[in-house]
Chain A
Amino acid sequence: MRRFIGVSWLTAVYAFFYIPLLTLIVYSFNSAKFTTVWKGFTLDWYVRLFQNRQLLDAFFNSITVAVVSSIIATVIGTLGAFAVNRYRFAGRKVFFGLVHSVMMSPDIVMGISLLMLFVLMGVETGFLTLLLAHVTFCLPFVIVTVHARISGFDPAVVDAARDLGAGEFATFFRIILPMILPAVLAGWLLSFTLSLDDVIISFFVTGPEFEILPLKIYSMVRLGVKPEVNALCAILFLITLAAVALAHFLVTKESRQ
Chain B
Amino acid sequence: MWALLIFFPIFMDVIKVFTDKQWNVSKPLERLALASYNSRGITESNWRTWFVDHPTYVDLLKYNQSGILWRYHGLLDNNRVFKVLGMILLGLYFGRKLMYRKL
A and B interact: no
Q: Which residues of A contact B (CB under 8 A)?
A: none
Q: Which residues of B contact A (CB under 8 A)?
A: none
